[in-house]
Amino acid sequence: MRRTQRESDDAMLSLLLAKGDGTIWMPPQASTVAGATDYVFYYILYISAAFFILINGAMFYFIWKYRRRGPHDKVGRITHSTPLEIGWSVIPGLLLIPMFWWGFKGYMEQRTFPPNCLEINVVAAKWNWTFIYSNSFTSNELHVPVDTPVRLIMRSNDVIHSCFIPAFRVKRDVVPGRYADLWFRATRTGRFPLVCAEYCGTSHSDMKADVYVHPKVADGQAKDPLDKSYDEWLKNADPYGKLTPEQYAEYTKDYEAFKTKYGGDEVMKPIVEKLAAPPERGQQLWDKKGCKSCHTLDGTPSQGPSWKGVFGKEEALADGTKAKVDENYLRESILEPNAKIVAGFARGVMPKTPLKDYEIDALIAFFKSLSGDQK
């Protein structure tokens, strides 16, 4: 229920943003290269419109003026004119040169990386984006500071994807087996869509992420994490990462006891408030890490087996053997998807998704909750 509320907020927000200062042709401009791209876009648009009107205007005028009136119409005898031919080759040719030149300059600007970029690693996989920050926090949202050059270093876990941020006018294919990169410098704060531009299979169109551009100077009082500076956001981004291993063990073991123990603590309180119960955390990961595009929770198999009731069951494997689904089985299935293949499903479909140990713990807790909380 909560999720649908959030989604409808999201839809509102994206609508507002799209209306922002985009035009009927272009989304809002939010990076340093957007202006140059739009400039040449409109140059081409006006030249094209002029030529289109010229050609079709002449055509409509001629077909009306010289429409057939009878078999004895007088027909012009002109069959060629070299000056005309040269004129209409050279003049359009000259008008093309600025297009090429501005396009080239704009492109080179996008491909010339400024020194000292903030670097963020990106992993593309069917069908979600993972962003890995300098403190090794990973998220499915891209957070960047405004007015700072950012370099995305991207790799793919499976097929070709393509990272496209329309408001920044940047796009780059993420080809498996090599790194791809792109850079941008955001010029305004806010939220912008990031989409996959290269066809990558079933849920290609659902492979999207949000880009959050944070202000330079923090508004200390800000409640909305968007109004915090990038650094401050990053520091607080991962409440789970802030737990010590001991605290983490307590959190996993008994969430309620953990809450009462630390809920009153001045330092720990804001962190604890952000934590979800482990199974709930597992569900969030299912949603955010793209597991949901292949695994349902209601028992209907889709691309992969449903997660309902899997934990504790005897799983029939493709090689004819059976395996008991316990913590180790799940861990292996998630980290090495091709180690054991469930009977009836294809090898090589499930991607390797980068997950931290405690995220796997949370997923396991979620699996257990889906099997009626077997311990």
Binding flag, residue 142, Cu ion (CB under 5 A): no
Binding flag, residue 207, Cu ion (CB under 5 A): yes
Q: In whole angstroms, what is the distance from residue 110 CA to residue 124 CA? A: 21
Phi, psi of 155 (to 5 degrees): -140, 165
**Minimum CB–partner distance for residue 152 and Cu ion (Å):** 15
Q: In whole angstroms, what is the distance from residue 233 CA to residue 110 CA? A: 27
The conformational region for residue 73 under phi > 0 = left, psi -120 to 50 = alpha, else beta, is beta
| Binding positions for ligand HEC, 196-225, rule CB under 6 A | none
Query: Which of 143, 172, 228, 281 lies at the binding interface for other proteins (CB under 8 A)?
Result: 172
Question: 33 or 362, CB closer to other proteins?
Answer: 33
Neighbour order of strands in the sheet with 161-165:
142-145, 208-214, 190-196, 161-165, 170-174
Q: Which pairing describes strands 128-132 and 161-165: parallel, antiparallel, or unpaired?
A: unpaired
**Minimum CB–partner distance for residue 337 and ligand HEC (Å):** 4
Q: Which pairing describes strands 170-174 and 142-145: parallel, antiparallel, or unpaired?
A: unpaired
Binding flag, residue 161, Cu ion (CB under 5 A): yes
Q: Which one of 96-104, 137-145, 242-250, 335-343 is the stretch in contact with other proteins (CB under 8 A)?
A: 96-104
Binding mask 337-356 for ligand HEC (x = CB under 6 A): x--xxx--xx--xxx-x---
Binding flag, residue 138, ligand HEC (CB under 6 A): no
Binding flag, residue 335, other proteins (CB under 8 A): no
| The two three-digit tokens of residue 35, written as one number | 């202006």
The closest of 95, 120, 126, 315 to 203, measured between CA atoms, is: 126
Binding partner of 178, given Cu ion, ligand HEC, other proteins, none, CB within 5-8 angstroms per partner class: other proteins
Q: Which one of 17-25, 41-49, 201-209, 328-336 is the stretch in contact with Cu ion (CB under 5 A)?
A: 201-209
Residue type, position 336, single letter:
E
Q: In whole angstroms, what is the distance from residue 321 CA to residue 339 CA? A: 13
Which residues in this chain contact ligand HEC in the complex, by CB under 6 A?
Answer: 126, 289-291, 293-295, 303-305, 310, 315, 325, 330, 333-334, 337, 340-342, 345-346, 349-351, 353, 363
